Structure 1
Amino acid sequence: MSDIAGMKAELDALVREQADRRALREQQGEEIKARSQEYMTKQVQAAERYVQHIREVAQRKTKSGWSTDRSHAEPASAFDAEEYPGPGGFAPPPGPAPRPVRDEPRPARRPRAAVEEDEDFNNPW
């Protein structure tokens, strides 16, 4: 009989250990999920700030007149530029040759990495 009682006690201990391990694994999973959620939230906020910055730069470009995008340019005038080359009907004075416009857009600058208060977000996987 003591053999059966010993086996039963050992089985109970194994079941308890398995339940403890399951609970620990679930707790660690929830912690990882929460850290991941916080990390992704910070990434989204950084991306939103970057997009807002790019929009502001684009608005400044068009407002200051140094944008090369012709879609925002003023509509064509009723006066033909060839017929009236400059003020008073005179050709504009010769100046430096205009720089050629690039056909392909420049690659966008990569945003600086946001400084994180907590360095705990480095996932080992």
Structure 2
Amino acid sequence: MTDITGMKAELDGLVREQGERRALREQRGEELKARSHEYMTKQVQAAERYVMHRRELAQRKTKSGWSTDRSQAEPPSAFDDGVEFPGAGEAPPFAPARPARDDSPRHARRHRAAEDTDEFDNNPW
């Protein structure tokens, strides 16, 4: 009988320990979830501030006239005076012509056998 009561007491202790560990694990999980939620909230706030800052910069650029947007007409360059040079746009005469592509199959290189062996038979050079 004492063996049975001792086993029941040991089993009750194990069940209680298991319940305490489960509660502790759930508590740590909730704390971790709260910390990660707080971190992600801060990240979202920082991203929103960055987006607002970039929008503000874009508005300043367009208002002050130094926008880099290419949709507006560009002012004429001092080098665009309408003079065309002869041969502009053609390939220069010294440019090498591309050789025609050879579609024949290529063969793998073969290893040359050692032509002459000296006293050093194990040395390939």
Interval of TM-score (by shorter of Structure 1 and Structure 2): 0.5 to 0.7
Q: Secondary structure at the match of 1:50?
A: helix
| Residue 48 (1) aligns with residue 10 (2) | no
In structure 1, runs of 5+ residues without a counterpart are 75-80, 83-93, 95-125
CA deviation after TM superposition for structure 1 residue 70, in Å = 2.8
State the structure with bigger RCO (CA 8 A, min sep 6), 1 or 2: 1
Amino acid at match of 1:34: A
The percentage of counterpart residues that share the same residue type is 79
Amino acid at match of 1:11: L
Could you tell me how far apart the structure 2 residues matched to 1:70 and 1:49 are? Answer: 27
Aligned position for 1:57: 57
1:1-20 to structure 2, matched below 5 A, reads 1-20=1-20
Could you tell me how far apart the structure 1 residues matched to 2:69 and 2:45 are? Answer: 29
CA deviation after TM superposition for structure 1 residue 68, in Å = 1.9
Higher helix content, 1 or 2? 1
CA deviation after TM superposition for structure 1 residue 58, in Å = 0.6
1:14-93 to structure 2, matched below 5 A, reads 14-71=14-71, 73=72
In structure 2, runs of 5+ residues without a counterpart are 79-125
TM-score (norm 2): 0.57
Amino acid at match of 1:54: R
Please give the root-mean-square deviation of Cα atoms over the aligned residues, in Å: 2.4
TM superposition outliers: structure 1 runs of 4+ over 2 Å: none
Larger Rg: 2
